[in-house]
Amino acid sequence: MASEDPVIGIDDPDDPRIEIYRDIRERDLIRRHGHFIAEGKTVLQVLVAQDRFPVHSLLVLENRLAGIADLIDALPEEIPVYRAPQTVMDAIAGFHMHRGILAAARIPDGSADLPDPLPPKWSTVLLLSAISNHDNMGSIFRNAAAFGADAVILDPQCCDPLYRKAVRVSVGGVLRVPFFRAPSMDAAVAILDRGGFAIAALSPAGRTDMSDWQPATRQALVLGSEGHGLADAWLKRLQTLSIAMAPGFDSLNVATAGAIALHRRFAFKEIGKS
């Protein structure tokens, strides 16, 4: 950020310039005129580095500015950076903002359209069905980023990955891994089939134990909601994977199960490179 374009002090919580940050807990579920809110230094680092979502502005606690000076310098000089004392920032956000770093970023038009055909470079894709818990959504994206997934496809029943808490839990993974909405599970599976993907669904009743699974060159993994899981029709139609565990316990958190499957997929890809 240019030295002649100073950080803008905000002393009034009702200042209209920071309207996009107002009452973020109550308004979290609503995308703000094509924007979303990112929170924390780590997520801001990813947001700036990836350059997928153009930054609209920053709102930062006065005592956190020095710690993100390099990130502010990396932003185009026309992007406003607002600073506020703790009491003012809390009043703007509607709750205590102990992390003290917020960014608003724009969602590009058409960014959620699922390509058909799928890009030939994609080899690992997640397909999510009815994942409605934002903590689970964030954790799944964190795992997807950690193990090199190329994309995440969401069915219409999935919650918004750009919900502030999901972005934060993902540690910026939502900003790293491309994601797309499919009009239905049928449409998503059809597109994956046409793209030559093998499709395997995780289920406690899966017919193949994870330790015996050998991922395909192009592999899609399907994760369903913890409450209801995938519909029986999909479990009958797709290859299904189970994870062995101690007697008396038959299921894992969906994000944990996905991480185990992604790690096995990642390990097979690394073996193939050697």
Burial, 143: exposed, middle or buried (Cβ in 10 Å; 0-12, 13-18, 19+)?
buried
Contact predicate 102/93, CB 8 Å = yes
Residues 157/185, Cβ–Cβ less than 8 Å: no
Whether 132 and 93 map to the same domain: the answer is: no
Within this chain, do residues 140 and 259 fall inside the same structural domain, yes or no?
yes
- Quick one: 81 and 164 in the same domain? no
**Six-digit token pair at 231?**
């519909």
Residue 166's domain is classified under what CATH number? Answer: 3.40.1280.10
- Mean pLDDT, residues 192-214: 96
Q: Nearest 5°: phi and psi at 175?
A: -85, -15
Residue 89 shares a structural domain with residue 187: no
Share of the chain above pLDDT 70, in %: 95
Asked whether residue 165 is domain-assigned, the answer is yes
Pair (63, 152) in one structural domain: no
What is the overall mean pLDDT for the chain? 92
Residue 158's Cα: distance from chain center in Å? 12
35 shares its domain with 128: no
Domain for residue 174, yes or no?
yes
What does the block give as tokens for 66? Answer: 């020095």
> Are residue 77 and residue 160 in the same domain, yes or no?
no
Calpha distance 172→158 (Å, rounded): 19
What's the CA gap between 153 and 15, in Å, rounded? 39
**Radius of gyration, alpha carbons of the chain:** 21
Cβ-in-10-Å burial (0-12, 13-18, 19+) of 85 comes to middle
Per-residue H/E/C for 10-68: CCCCCCHHHHHHCCHHHHCCCCCCCEEEEECHHHHHHHHHHCCCCEEEEEEEHHHCHHH
Tell me what pLDDT residue 266 has. Answer: 94
Rounded to an integer, the average pLDDT of 77-94 is 95
Percent of the chain with pLDDT over 90: 79
Q: Which of 31-40, 146-155, 246-255 is the least confident region?
A: 31-40
pTM of the model: 0.92
Residue 99 has a pLDDT of 87
pLDDT digits (tens, 9 = 90+) for 117-140: 999 999 999 999 999 999 999 999
Last residue of a domain, one of 76, 106, 136: 106
- In the structure, how many helices (H) and strands (E) does the chain have? 10, 12
Same domain, 268 and 134: yes
Q: Do 54 and 169 fall into the same domain? A: no
| Tens-digit pLDDT profile for residues 17-74 | 999 999 887 555 456 678 999 999 999 999 999 989 999 999 999 999 999 999 999 9
Residue 161 preceded by cis peptide, ω within 30: no
* Residue 27 included in any domain: yes
Burial annotation 23-34 (CB, 10 A radius, 16+ → b, else e): ebeeebeeebee
Distance between CA atoms of residues 32 and 21, nearest Å: 9
Asked whether residue 194 is assigned to any structural domain, the reply reads: yes
Written as one letter, the residue type at 169 is: V
Q: Among the three residues 72, 106, 140, which one is the final residue of a domain in this structure?
A: 106
Neighbours of 89 (CB within 10 A): 25
- Residue 18: give its domain's CATH number: 3.30.1330.30
pLDDT of residue 274: 56
| Count of domains for the chain | 2
Residues 102 and 14 in one domain: yes
Is 87 contained in some domain? yes
| pLDDT for the residue 2 | 41
Residues 262 and 192 in one domain: yes
Q: The domain containing residue 235 runs over which residues?
A: 124-273
Higher pLDDT, 98 or 110: 98
Among 73, 106, 139, the domain-final residue is 106
Q: Is residue 198 part of a domain?
A: yes
* Whether residues 148 and 260 fall in one domain: yes
At residue 193 the predicted structure's pLDDT band, cuts being 50, 70 and 90, is very high
213 lies in a domain? Answer: yes
| Res 5 pLDDT > 50 | no
In a domain, 141, yes or no: yes
